[in-house]
Structures are given as C-alpha cells and as structure tokens.
Structure 1
Amino acid sequence: MRLTKGGGLYVASTLLLGVSAVNTGNNLLFLIVAAMLSFMAVTGVLGWLNIRGIVLSVRLPDEVYAGTETLLPVVAENGKRFLPSFLIRVTLMGNSTSFTLLERKRPQNAALLLSFRERGPLKLPDATVSSPFPVNFFVRATAVHLPVEGTVFPAPRPMLVPAAGGKPDAGEAVSAAASGYDGELAKISDYRGGEPLKLIHWRLSAKHEVFKVKELTATAAEPLFIDLDAVPGRDLEERLSYGTFLVNRLARSGRPVGLKLGERVVPPGTTRSHRLKLLTELALYGKG
C-alpha cells in the first residue's frame, strides 16, 4: 500500500487533530478524529476487498524476440462471489494496463507491450494488481503469480540472403519486416508475436479476443543449411542474430532450411513448427 498526495494530507490532518485533541481535551476534536480514523478503516477494508480475488492469465506468443516489443494478451477475471472490482491496474515488468470495472465471473481482455533484453529461457515475474478504490487516498496492491514459461529468440539482424542457387541476392539487403510477406493472402490466423504490426487485421481483431494477422503465400526452393560457425559476425550474439534472421527469411519464403550448431545438425524443413524449433535451438545455444 502506498499513500497518494491526497492520502498524505488526510493522514497528516488526522494526526494533527489527534495531537490537538490530546493537548486540549476537547471532546469534539476526539469525535472528529474518531470519525476520520473510522473512515480510514472502512475505506481500507473496501480497498482490500476490491483487489482480492482477481485472477490473471496471460498467453505468451509463440515468437518472442530479444529487444523487440511484443503484445502480451492479458485476461483479468473477478473471482469474488458477490462484489465487482473497480479501477484495477495490472503492472508487469514496468508496463501497465487498466480495467475500469471487473464484474463477477465476466473476464475482460487487454494487452501489454513488453520487451525482453536477452535471449534464452523466459519465466514471467509476478504481476502487480493495484487500485486506488474507493477514494484516491491509498493505492493498495497485491502480487499475482503468472506460471508462464517460454523462450526468447535472438534479436533478428538483417543480412544478405542466399538465393536458390546458393548465392546472395544481388545487392539486395532485405529487412526483417518484409521477410516472406510478398505473396497472396492465404488465410487469417492468430497473432503469435513474430509478425510485423502492419499485417495485423485490426478490424477483424476487434471482433475477437486475440489479435488476427494475415498470412501470405510463399514460393518453395532448394534446401539450405545454416552453419552458425560460418555465419559472419563479431561475436556469438551477433552470429545468432544473423542466424535468426536467415531462418525466418528463408523459411517464410518457402525455402527448406536446416541448422548446424557445432556437432549438432537439424535437418531442413519448411513447416512453421520446424522454424520455431530452429529458433529455439538458436535461443538456447550456449545457455548451458
């Protein structure tokens, strides 16, 4: 619990009147102080009941990249038997989202825009549920555990991409935002965290609980192995970033792609699950 500016003035006034009542013996002052303390007690109980029983659930996108902002869907539900909850704020890793009213047994959806610094295994910290209800004198808060684990992929770094004949595209430096999205519309699917924001179907997303994105067709080509030791870069992290970009660019353009990490070899494939497997291998490489 923390005091707001108004709460600090209220507490200071209560203490001042209490000291005055003791020094003067004035019964009226004692009654006023008692009323003010009672008000603090009642609002404290109401504030505690307001944040009690809030249940949070999040769904980590399939693709989370280091240093890249990711939309994290958040579902808040009021698990209390009778009372609604008001002015609820959910804070996670310094980012917040708010719910004006949480009615009993009626979940509401929101989203947090988060960014993770490093690649590797991801375990979300506890979220903080807070509220200034019923009066903005005190902000009460409680921690809510989020049993969500995942993997943060290396930050993709653009580089020249080998063409079907094994040579880089002539003079073409492609960006991650445009990777593999130059075909016709194939289908609409759920947002997974790796798609550029320009492909989000905003009008359709407004009608569903999760964001919807457009998936475009791609053209298949010859298989290719990515040997991490042969990827250019000043250090391991830079080579992993280039490797991540290559995996996404080649796989999304329909090119069967495999991976060689030291003695470990992953055969080429074209499915989305195969691409995620390659990205996971890159994310966990050297992490023990």
Structure 2
Amino acid sequence: MISVPMEWKERFDPRRFFRGEKAVDGPVLLTHRRVFIVPNRRGFGLAVLLAIQFLAAINYGNNLAFILTFLLAGIAMQSTLHAFRNLAGLSVRRGKAPPVFAGEPARFELHLDNPSRIHRLGLTARLAGSATPVRFDVAPETTATLILHAETEQRGWLSMPTVTFDTSFPLGLFRAWSPINLRQRVLVYPRPAPPGIRPTPIPEPGLGVRPDTREEEDFHGFSAYRPGDPLKRIHWKGVAKGQGVHVKQYAGGDTAELLLDWQYTPGADVEARLSRLCRWVLDAEAAGTPYGLRLPGVAIQKGRGEAHRARCLEALALFGT
C-alpha cells in the first residue's frame, strides 16, 4: 500500500483536505491520515437544537431534559466513529482507461478492495469537476469496481482528476470524505469530422491511392453488412426477400491503397486537419481499405486492423505535443 511520508508543511496544508495528496501509482489505503470528518447541515442543526435544549434544562432544572440532551449528543458523537470506519481500510486501485474521441466522456475504472468483515454502506465517489456522484456499497471481503466519467474537450492525454470518496453513514449527521490522486490517464483522439469529404488520390510508388480495382470474376460468398461497405456490393435480392442485409465478397483482384497525407488535407487550422484525418482513418478501416498516414515528422506505412487504427489515431492525438 502507498503511504508516502509527509512534511509538516504538507500535513497542515489546507488544500490537502480537498485536493488530496500527491498522485501515486497505487494502490492507496484509506487511513486516518486520508479520512476527514466534519458535521454537515443536519449535524449543525442538531447541535443548535441540543444547545437550546441544554439551556432549557438549565433554566428549568429538569433532570430528564439533561439526560435526553446528553444521550442524543452521545449518539451523535458515536456516529463519527462509524462514519470513519465506513471508509477507513478500503484500498483503491486503478483499472482500465480506454481511449475516447474528443467530446466523448472519458472512462476511468477504479477497484475498491474491502479486506475487512465490515459492510461498507452508502458510499459515493466523485471526480473533481463532475456534478454527478456514483453511489455504491462494498460487501465484506469483496472488491467493487467503479466507472467514473470525465468530460473531454481537447485531444491528447487527460489525467484523472482528484477522486473523492465520502459517506454520511449511519445517521447523516457527519460527512466523512477522502480525496485521493492516482496516476491514471486516458488518451483522447481528435474529434472526427462529419463524413462527406473524401481524401484526394495521391499516387506514390508503394503507397498511394488507386481506384478500387477489385476484380469481381470470382464470387466468394456473402458477409454481414458493415457501415462503409460499397452499396453496389449489397445483395439487394436478399434484402427484398427479408433475409437481412448482406454484402457480396469476391476473391482475387487488387485492393485499393490509401495514403492520408497532412499536406493534402483540407482544413482551416491544425485541429480541423486532424479532425478530417481522423474521419478518414475511421472510414478507411470500416471499408477494409489498407491505408497509411503521413504527418510532419511521422510516417506510418499502409495497413489495417485494430492495432493499425489505434496507432494512427494515437499519432493524430499526440501530434504537436
């Protein structure tokens, strides 16, 4: 478990109570150093009520009023211990953070291990800047998996904001919370441009664009339709018979090759060009066309498949950074 020694200046820095400590790889154990407790609105309301009741007991010399006041105060103070125990001892580990496109919510996965026999109830988790908390429970000796979302606006690497765990268990009078920072980040691809503009053919030996010259003499069979398949290959007779949408497959022939070049990409600025190239990468992959990518200082040879697609999109996302 991660427990980095702290200097006195860091320990009493008031920002630590809201921003947490320095980011670490994890896992992070929630201990007394990381869990903070204060009364919430209900707690302050009860404190005012008990103060009035205590003054009334003094004024009238009523022993029953004294007993009731001290009993309620004792129960309220006892709830701070349960609120602390509801968070203390949990271990937080980072999970997966798959790439997304700009404008889509980034997904950060967290794993919470509960090694104790205490059932952790009424917990919430919230990323800094997020208005919607995630509510969850953790059963004894189990692991809970959380998915937290963060808004994305720009391409590149997005680090996970501070995540705060809190609870008002059991009486809702005190709020216990623990802000932590994990070294987790997600890659944000450029926002794809709307479809419509096709890339200009750029002939080049070994890597260029040629018209789709697949010979259709050898019929190979049918496959399920995928977005981007040529309409002329759709088996329309089968569609009319209610057999679903299938595409004719042919064996042999040449396959078009596509070079996506920054120099020949239209766009008013850098982000517009990257957005257009991102769209072309997605369209070429959906059509099954081998494609290469050329950026200033970056040249990716032709290919296709998920690994090739991810490599091209990563180059677009990190361009200029």
Q: Which residue number in structure 2 is paired with residue 77 of structure 1? A: 113
* 2:67 corresponds to 1:10: no
The aligned residue for residue 115 of structure 1 is: 151
Verify: 1:141 aligned to 2:177, yes or no.
Answer: yes
What secondary structure sits across from 1:233 in the alignment?
coil
* Post-superposition offset of 1:5: 4.2
Alignment map for 1:1-288 (pairs within 5 Å): 1=37, 3-20=39-56, 28-79=64-115, 81-93=116-128, 94=130, 95-99=132-136, 101-159=137-195, 160-162=197-199, 181=227, 221-287=255-321
Q: Secondary structure at the match of 2:313?
A: helix
In 2, distance between residues paired with 1:90 and 1:132? 12
Corresponding residue SS for 2:133: strand
| 70 and 272 in structure 1: CA distance in 2 versus 1, 3 angstrom threshold | same
Structure 2 spans left out of the alignment, 5+ residues: 1-36, 202-208, 213-224, 230-248
Contact 1:77 1:104 in 2 (8 A): no
Measure, in 1, the Cα distance between the counterparts of 2:261 and 2:38: 54
* Cα offset, 1:69, TM superposition: 2.8
In the TM superposition, what is the alpha-carbon distance from 1:102 to its structure 2 partner?
Answer: 1.2
- CA positional deviation for 1:162: 4.1
Which digits, 9 at most, give the CA deviation of each residue in 1:30-58, with x for residues without a partner? 44433233222210010011011223344
CA apart distance, 1:182:
5.9
TM-score (norm 1): 0.71
Larger CA Rg, structure 1 vs 2: 2
Flag the 1:137–1:162 CA change in 2: closer, same or farther, 3 A.
same
**Retained in 1: the 8 A contact 2:291–2:303?**
yes
CA contact (8 A) 1:51 1:85 kept: yes
TM-score (norm 2): 0.64
- Name the CA distance, whole Å, in 2 between partners of 1:167 and 1:29: 92
Which residue number in structure 2 is paired with residue 174 of structure 1?
Answer: none
* Structure 1: runs of 5+ lacking an equivalent: 169-178, 184-217
Question: 2:16 maps to what in 1?
Answer: none
Residue 202 of structure 1 corresponds to: none
**Corresponding residue for 2:218?**
none
CA contact (8 A) 2:200 2:264 kept: no
Aligned to 2:70, the other structure's residue is in SS state helix
Give the letter for the 1:283 counterpart. Answer: A
Name the stretch that deviates more: 108-117 or 7-16: 108-117
Deviations 1:199-245 (A, max 9, x none): xxxxxxxxxxxxxxxxxxx9994222222232212211121111112
Distance 2:265 2:303 in 1: 20
The 2-side partners of 1:6 and 1:149 are apart by 37
Alpha-carbon distance in structure 2 between the residues aligned to 1:157 and 1:23: 75
**In structure 2, do the counterparts of structure 1 residues 154 and 23 end up closer, same or farther at CA, with 3 Å as the change threshold?**
farther
Give the number of aligned pairs.
Answer: 242
User: Cα offset for 1:77?
Assistant: 2.7
Q: Aligned pair in 2 of structure 1 residues 139, 231: CA closer, same or farther (>3 Å)?
A: same
Change (3 A) 1:163 1:284: closer
Q: Distance in 2 between matches of 1:228 and 1:53?
A: 52
Identity %: 22
Deviations 1:117-143, CA, capped at 9 Å, x for gaps = 211112112311111210122232112
One-letter code aligned to 1:85: R
The structure-2 alpha-carbon separation of the partners of 1:155 and 1:19, relative to structure 1 and needing over 3 Å to count, comes to farther
Query: Amino acid of the residue matched to residue 137 of structure 1?
Result: L
What letter corresponds to residue 56 of structure 1 in structure 2? Answer: V
Give the root-mean-square deviation of aligned CA atoms.
3.3
1:269 maps to amino acid: G
